[in-house]
Amino acid sequence: MWQAAGMESTAAARAREVTDAVLADLAAGVHRGVVVDSPPGAGKSTLVVRAARELAATGAATMIVAQTNEQVDDLVDRIAGADDRLRLGRLSAADYRPTPRVARHRNVRVAAKPADLDAPAVTVGTAAKWATVAEGTWPWAIVDEAYQMRADALLRVAPRFDRALFVGDPGQLDPFSTVDTGRWTGVSWDPMQSAVAVLLRHNPDLPLHRLPVSWRLPPSAAAVVAEAFYPDAPFTAGTAPGVRRWALDGPPVDAYDDTLDTAARTGWALHSLPPAFTPRTDAEAAAACAALAGRLLSRGATATCERTTAPVTAERIAVGAAHRDQVAAIRSALPPHAAQVTVDTANRLQGREYDVTIVLHPLSGRRDATAFHLEAGRLCVLTSRHRQACVVVARAGIPALLDAYPSREPVHLDTPVRFPDGWAAHHALLEHLAATAH
Amino acid sequence: MLSALARAQAAATGVAQPLTTVGHLHAAAAPLVCVPLALAGETLAPLAALVGTDRAAPRLLVVPQPRNRDLRFAFAAALAAEVLPYLDARRGATEDVPADRGRQVRVRYLDAPQVWVPNPGGVEFVRLLGRSLRFRRTDGEHPVPAAVPRLGCWLTFLADRAELPGSALLVAATAALGAHWATGQSAVEDAHLPALLAWIDPPEGRTGAGAAAAAEDPAVTPPAGPATDPAFDRDVLAPLVAAYDRGAPDAPGRLAAALRGQLTPAWDAVWRAYDLLAALPPGATVAARWGQDRDAFTGYAAHLDEGGLPQPRHDSAVAAAARLHRLERAAATYALQRAYDDPLVLADHRLAGEAFRGEVVLADPTRVDDSGRRPVLRPRITVRSADPLHLAPGTALCAPGRPKQRATLVSVEGRDAVLELRGGMGRGRTPEAGSVPEVGEVVTYTTLTDAFAPAPAFPAPEDTPWTHGGPPADPAGGDPRGGAEVPGDPPAGAPPEPVPAG
């Protein structure tokens, strides 16, 4: 245990070093913007809370731009909880009713217009809400989840701030649109880029920091996820091997148990189904996802981490899939005792954290591999939500499918090349899963 | 999912299957058809075009040596002589349209142009030709007639407008047919207009599949452009162009005859596609969308009349963001209108779990929610549906018959969905008669919403923020119109045209 504790403290020291460098850049004020790349669970929110408090301490009014109301409420709760004398404003839609975690703080005011917030030190709102604010400027902005924000959303918000800290996870899903956006391909202000991409293309000399430690992912996952999805920004797990562990209580009976026991042993498991071409809502695969969640709960499991030892309850389990109809199929297949298990799409699982996740592989049962299903961000979100283990459910034959459909996205002039390539990331992850099976 | 089934049925029966019960495209009374051909191996070297409004008398334009730039601009001038009078002829009678909630009046033409090309490649040809012509100068070193840059502006306007979902000013025949019929062949094969038509409207006594297979031989049915058949290029075109270069006296005539032979089948095919689509009963909102097209046409005509500059080479940062907003809004509106106009399109949404239809089994039309600052009318209804109900509580829903009313899914229990309604019920404490569905009424709710969004605020081009490169360096130079709104398009976020209920 001595060794493990030592490793954790070095990890903490490295993480603190980066955080200090970020705050020093903010304080120096040499650059108009500072960018922080954060791998999954690397303490992004902690950084945002700390930066907001430090900026508030200088007396500069700060605006925080998050992407969803959920994220705004989370940030308000965390900042208000960290410092009950800091006056906070929560910009909201007219029909917003404060959630309990916002309403419980006496230092938070909620209003639809900045003027009604009584000049708080920190004002938090969604990007969509900030876009409706037509007047006033803030010396500082913190843009949270900046890789989920589209460049056109930043364009509407940017006139409101002088300088900004951009924080986000580059491995998440790219912004998307339902219309054809080809006419802007290669243009430096292509509105389909992420906010960070457009910012760095016009301000290439801005300081770029990378948080080096994932506190969420266990060592078994950090290495795999970093190699597959963050080839340019390696990171490590914040915990030593053996600190995170979990085991199932009841005796194993069938293949589901073998899969779960493998996941408990190695942190990963591939639950392979016979090869078949299926519709998107593959009933057998959906049933397998649901059955795995059900079995985990009926056998019962106990998870130990650096904070606590606790049973793995339904709230600590998530099932992820690529499409909404798959989510619906899995949800309707869940046994009654597993009804509280979260089932959602990759888009909606972004930023969330569980002990064990069960993932329906985006390419399972498919005849072709489209750009949507190959997107690295989608697979990355699905396979980086867990603190203990991730179980992937898939029809056999995906490597062959990948080989039959190599990436053939056209290459455009003046468009920065994006890494990782989804095709390579899929192969890397599958290779690792195949290796854990034995 | 329904379209996949329709494709499977088409493949099994050999007959194309309808995807819609109504037409979703306005078919103009007097369309202009243009079938262009381009020289292989060049980005844009016009080779020939059949163009006109009279299906019996198309005008053939030929560039006998497509690499000769003077001949290329002569072609452009000849095309302008066909297209510009057609556009001007649409500028006849006008109508007054209330704008700004009735405070002002806007004038628009009763007619607008509708240009048909065979396929999306034709739209791309129009876009590229527009780009190459609109900055041509009428003075200086290589002057062109004033009609040439004017044609470039109009072609760019049409190609820009074609990106807008639901617009009908520039129509690609294959895309329009493919939105209304499913064939048993692949999407790539559907891009070949003769094969697509063979599926939808096979000759007497043949199946669609058989007729489509026959239409694939380029020797019998030449491609509908802009790319030519390579065998034709090699065996016919190259020798004739060489003969023209040598000055052979009969070369121009033989070239024209050969190109006419390549173009005529496609010309006839586009007219057949037009006839098929014009024969469909139009959906309820088709006229409203055509009204927006007429608005756009009126606006752009006025812009050119006032000596307005051609469209900029690239959208500025602000213009790109504003345009993306307009396109996304139009796409959402078009999807909603199609579903509301057409039960078959709506069925696709129902199968995907994005809509459900059922009978109202419980209704509390006078329910008041007094948990907020002031009590508000929030009726609740329970809908019993046989459709799969996979929607999550809290989902916002809309009903086709009640466009102003919003519903929120409160809970789902088995086959019963409980909905809370707001809006569209008049101003009183009790809802107006008929505004809340009654017990026994069959209703449909969808997740497609067309909620009114306030006009989005984009910074002025000269205030482009530092994150996007700051203000354009030379607003008057490279990007002549900077981030200005595209004339003719309604301002972003403008309330949609009123949609007739039901």
Domain CATH number, residue B419:
2.40.30.20
Same domain, B311 and B346: no
Distance in angstroms (rounded) separating the CA atoms of residues B24 and B311:
29
Same domain, B152 and B222: yes
Non-local (6+) Cβ contacts of A71 within 8 A are A126, A144, A145, A351
pLDDT at A438 over 90: no
Residue B247 inside a domain? The answer is: yes
Q: Which of A55-69, A424-438, B415-429 has the highest mean pLDDT?
A: A55-69
- Predicted pLDDT at A408: 75
Same domain, B207 and B351: no
Same domain, B288 and B408: no
Among candidate residues B403, B428, B446, the one where a domain is terminated: B446
Distance in angstroms (rounded) separating the CA atoms of residues B51 and B37:
11
- Chain A, 359 to 418: residues with Cβ < 8 Å from chain B are none
- Predicted pLDDT at A437: 65
With beta carbons less than 8 A apart as the criterion, state whether B488 and B296 touch.
yes
Quote the Cα angle for B176-B178-B181, to 5°. 115
Distance in angstroms (rounded) separating the CA atoms of residues B97 and B104:
8
Among partner residues B324, B454, B456, which is closest to A177 by beta-carbon distance? B324
Quote the pTM value.
0.89
Contact A97 B372 (CB under 8 A): yes
Measured between beta carbons, the chain A residues lying within 8 angstroms of B328 are: 177-179
Residue B95 inside a domain? The answer is: yes
Interface test with B, best of A152, A160, A202, A345 (most B CBs within 10 A): A152
Core vs surface per residue B391-402: b (16+ CB within 10 A) or e: beeebebbbbeb
Q: Does A131 touch chain B (CB under 8 A)?
A: yes
Q: Reduce the secondary structure of B205-237 to three states and give it as a string.
A: CCCHHHHHHHCCCCCCCCCCCCCCCHHHHHHHH
Among candidate residues B299, B315, B331, the one where a domain is terminated: B315
3-state SS assignment for residue B59: strand
Measured between beta carbons, the chain B residues lying within 8 angstroms of A178 are: 328, 331-332
- Predicted pLDDT at A6: 59
Residue of B nearest to A331 (CA): B390
Q: Which residues pair with B50 in a beta bridge?
A: B35, B60
- Predicted pLDDT at B500: 37
Segment holding A168, helix H or strand E:
strand A161-168
Distance in angstroms (rounded) separating the CA atoms of residues A331 and A74:
26
Query: Per the structure, how many domains does chain B have?
Result: 2
Measured between beta carbons, the chain B residues lying within 8 angstroms of A187 are: 314-315, 320
Residue B474 inside a domain? The answer is: no
Looking at residue A158, its amino acid is A
Residue B457 inside a domain? The answer is: no
Segment holding A355, helix H or strand E:
strand A354-360
Cα–Cα distance list, B224 to B79, B117, B173 (Å) = 19, 9, 10
Neighbours of A357 (CB within 10 A): 27
- Asked if residue B226 has a cis previous peptide bond (ω within 30° of 0), the answer is yes
Among partner residues A132, A191, A192, which is closest to B457 by beta-carbon distance? A132
- Burial grade of A323 (CB within 10 A; 0-12, 13-18, 19 or more): middle
With beta carbons less than 8 A apart as the criterion, state whether A36 and A22 touch.
yes
Neighbours of B384 (CB within 10 A): 14
Q: Does A437 touch chain B (CB under 8 A)?
A: no
Same domain, B125 and B255: yes
Q: Which of B173, B171, B172, B210 is nearest to B16 (CA)?
A: B210
With beta carbons less than 8 A apart as the criterion, state whether A383 and A349 touch.
no
Question: Any idea which of A390-399, A405-414, B304-313 has the lowest mean pLDDT?
Answer: A405-414
- Predicted pLDDT at B483: 38
With beta carbons less than 8 A apart as the criterion, state whether A405 and A371 touch.
no
B208 or A418: which leads in pLDDT: B208
Measured between beta carbons, the chain B residues lying within 8 angstroms of A138 are: none
Looking at residue B410, its amino acid is V
Same domain, B105 and B150: yes
Distance in angstroms (rounded) separating the CA atoms of residues A87 and A79:
10
By DSSP bridging, strand A236-237 and strand A342-345 are: unpaired
Residue of B nearest to A329 (CA): B390
Residue B465 inside a domain? The answer is: no
Contact B321 A203 (CB under 8 A): no
Neighbours of A403 (CB within 10 A): 11
Tally of residues, chain A = 438
Residue of B nearest to A333 (CA): B390
Q: Does A334 touch chain B (CB under 8 A)?
A: no
Contact B163 A183 (CB under 8 A): yes
With beta carbons less than 8 A apart as the criterion, state whether A91 and A157 touch.
no
With beta carbons less than 8 A apart as the criterion, state whether B172 and B119 touch.
yes
Tally of residues, chain B = 502
Contact B467 A33 (CB under 8 A): yes
Non-local (6+) Cβ contacts of A359 within 8 A are A319, A320, A321, A382, A383, A390, A391, A392, A393
- Asked if residue B145 has a cis previous peptide bond (ω within 30° of 0), the answer is no
Contact B328 A332 (CB under 8 A): no
Distance in angstroms (rounded) separating the CA atoms of residues A112 and A106:
18
Min CA distance, B288 vs chain A (Å)?
A: 21
Same domain, B308 and B348: no
Contact A189 B317 (CB under 8 A): yes
Which tokens belong to B453? Answer: 């969004």
Q: Does A178 touch chain B (CB under 8 A)?
A: yes
Same domain, B241 and B360: no
Q: Where are the alpha helices (DSSP H) in A203-246?
A: 219-229
Which tokens belong to B180? Answer: 């209304």
A313 or A413: which leads in pLDDT: A313
- Predicted pLDDT at A180: 86
Residue that has been written with the tokens 């002589």 in this structure? B81
Rg from Cα positions in chain B: 26
Quote the Cα angle for B475-B295-B51, to 5°. 90
Quote the Cα angle for A408-A413-A419, to 5°. 55
Which tokens belong to A124? Answer: 């938090």
Residuewise pLDDT in 10s, chain B (502 residues): 788 889 998 889 888 999 999 999 999 999 999 999 999 888 889 999 999 999 999 999 999 999 998 999 999 999 999 999 999 999 989 999 888 777 888 899 999 999 999 999 999 999 999 999 999 998 888 888 999 999 999 999 999 999 999 999 999 999 999 999 999 888 888 889 999 999 999 888 888 888 888 888 888 888 888 999 999 999 999 999 999 999 999 999 999 999 999 999 999 999 999 999 999 999 999 999 999 999 999 999 999 999 889 999 889 999 999 999 999 989 988 998 999 889 899 888 888 888 888 999 988 888 888 877 778 888 899 999 888 777 878 888 888 778 788 888 888 888 888 999 888 887 777 888 888 888 888 988 988 876 656 667 889 888 899 999 888 875 444 444 333 444 444 443 333 333 333 3
Neighbours of A413 (CB within 10 A): 6
- Predicted pLDDT at A178: 83
Min CA distance, A8 vs chain B (Å)?
A: 38
Residue B384 inside a domain? The answer is: yes
Measured between beta carbons, the chain B residues lying within 8 angstroms of A331 are: 390
Distance in angstroms (rounded) separating the CA atoms of residues A71 and A73:
5
Same domain, B420 and B273: no
Q: What is the pLDDT of residues A169-191, one digit of tens each?
A: 998 888 888 888 888 988 899 99
Taking every pair of Cα atoms in chain A, the longest distance, rounded to a whole number of angstroms, is 65
Same domain, B277 and B350: no
Q: Which domain holds residue B13?
A: 2-315
Non-local (6+) Cβ contacts of B101 within 8 A are none
Contact A181 B324 (CB under 8 A): yes
Q: Which of B226, B222, B266, B242 is nearest to B128 (CA)?
A: B226
Among candidate residues B429, B446, B463, the one where a domain is terminated: B446
A111 or B495: which leads in pLDDT: A111
- Predicted pLDDT at B414: 81
Phi-psi region of A356 (alpha: psi -120 to 50; beta: other; left: phi over 0): beta
With beta carbons less than 8 A apart as the criterion, state whether B391 and A331 touch.
no
Contact B327 A179 (CB under 8 A): yes
- Predicted pLDDT at A233: 85
Residue B304 inside a domain? The answer is: yes
Same domain, B21 and B102: yes
With beta carbons less than 8 A apart as the criterion, state whether A141 and B292 touch.
no
Q: Does A96 touch chain B (CB under 8 A)?
A: no
With beta carbons less than 8 A apart as the criterion, state whether B151 and B138 touch.
no
Residue B483 inside a domain? The answer is: no
Which tokens belong to B268? Answer: 């006839």
Same domain, B164 and B309: yes
- Predicted pLDDT at B454: 64
Contact B314 A187 (CB under 8 A): yes
Contact B352 A33 (CB under 8 A): no
